[in-house]
Amino acid sequence: MSQILLIARRELASYLRSWNGYIIIAILLAVGGLLFNSAVLGGAEKRSSEVVAFFFFGASGFVPIASVFFTMRLIAEERQTGTVNLLYSSPITDGQIVLGKYFSALVFMMIFLLLTSYMPMLVLVNGKVSWGHLASGYLGLLLLGSACIAIGTFGSSLAKSQILAVVITTAIVVAMLTCWYLAKVTDRPLNDLFSALALHGIHFPPFSQGIVHMRDVVYYLGVTYVALFSATRVLEARRWR
């Protein structure tokens, strides 16, 4: 466990020292804030819970984008600079390397999510917000983020360069998002399969409404597990080539 934390801490410290993370967060916060402003503060009056639900639904679009950029460097950069040889020759397992990398990006995602929290708080000025609704929404965002970051870690483990990592991760995330659309245009039993697999479709909306289904929690944790397991296998396989 201490070795996982060691890797996660170094990774996070290095990310906080570079500009990339801040730039990505700044852009996403600016675009998100503008959307929130135009969609919520203008136009007809709305109920508080509608506004909060809208915020979470919108934010769930930003989480995958943020994940792609937060994770692109994780393992690809170590391969690019050759530092992966230090990790490989040290008494740690490949699983510990992957988990350390994953946690560092997850913490950065938490920082990003924390910074978005001013938007639902604005609702408090003229309305009421249920804390349960907020907690459920942020739990959903965090679970979605966890799944996307795990996929990004996997993408980064496959790629030799960071650009390639972005391409691979984006392809996987987009493919899993479009499962929701495939579910709409296919017949039984395929549509059940696609909707169960979809990264957003049926699994996220309940969170933004303030409802937590065990089914959805298990889905996101499952995707996280499978992606991290695959990334570990990729690292192990690299030792053979």
Partner 1 sequence: MIEVEKLSKYYDERAAIADLSFDIGRGEVIGFLGLNGAGKSTTLRILGCVLLPTSGSVRIDGKDLASQPHEIRKQIGFLPDTPPLYDEMTVGDYLRFVARLRGMESNKIEGAVREAEEKTALSDAHEVVISSLSHGFRQRVGVAQAIVHKPALLILDEPTSGLDPVQIVQMRELIRGLRGHHTILLSSHILSEISQTCDRLLVIHDGRLVGQGTENELAGSGSGQVELEVVGTTERGLGDRVINVLKASGLVKNVVIKNESSGLVSLTVEAPSTLRPQIVRALVAADIDIQRIDYGAPELESIFMQLTKTSQGAS
Torsion of CA 186, 190, 192, 194, to 10 degrees: -80
Rounded-to-integer distance, Cα 232 and Cα 99, Å: 9
Rounded-to-integer distance, Cα 230 and Cα 1, Å: 20
Closest distance between partner 1 and the C-beta of residue 172, in Å?
A: 27
x/- mask, partner 1, residues 12-41, rule CB under 8 A, reads --x--xx-----------------------
Name the DSSP class of 214: H
Q: Which SS3 state, helix, strand or coil, does residue 187 take?
A: coil
Stretch that binds partner 1, among 4-12, 31-39, 108-116, 184-192 (CB under 8 A): 4-12
Decide if residue 86 touches partner 1 (CB under 8 A): yes
Angle formed at CA 110 by CA 236 and CA 170, multiple of 5 degrees = 55
Position among 24, 27, 65, 92 found at the interface with partner 1 (CB under 8 A) = 92
Rounded-to-integer distance, Cα 180 and Cα 212, Å: 20
Position among 90, 117, 126, 130 found at the interface with partner 1 (CB under 8 A) = 90
Rounded-to-integer distance, Cα 152 and Cα 227, Å: 8
Position among 37, 38, 81, 161 found at the interface with partner 1 (CB under 8 A) = 81
Decide if residue 83 touches partner 1 (CB under 8 A): yes
Decide if residue 188 touches partner 1 (CB under 8 A): no
Stretch that binds partner 1, among 85-93, 129-137, 172-180, 200-208 (CB under 8 A): 85-93
Decide if residue 161 touches partner 1 (CB under 8 A): no
Contact 70, 105 (CB under 8 A): yes
Contacts with partner 1 by CB under 8 A: the residue count is 23
Decide if residue 91 touches partner 1 (CB under 8 A): yes
Position among 88, 110, 197, 202 found at the interface with partner 1 (CB under 8 A) = 88
Instruction: Say how many C-beta atoms besides its own lie within 10 A of residue 210's C-beta.
Output: 18
Window 210-229: residues binding partner 1 (CB under 8 A): none
Decide if residue 85 touches partner 1 (CB under 8 A): yes
In sequence order, what DSSP letters do the residues of 163-217 get, joined into one string? Answer: HHHHHHHHHHHHHHHHHHHHHHHS-TTHHHHHHHH-SSTTTSHHHHTT---HHHH
Decide if residue 6 touches partner 1 (CB under 8 A): yes
Q: Which SS3 state, helix, strand or coil, does residue 149 take?
A: helix
Instruction: List contacts with partner 1 (CB under 8 A).
Output: 3, 6-7, 10, 14, 17-18, 81-93, 239-241
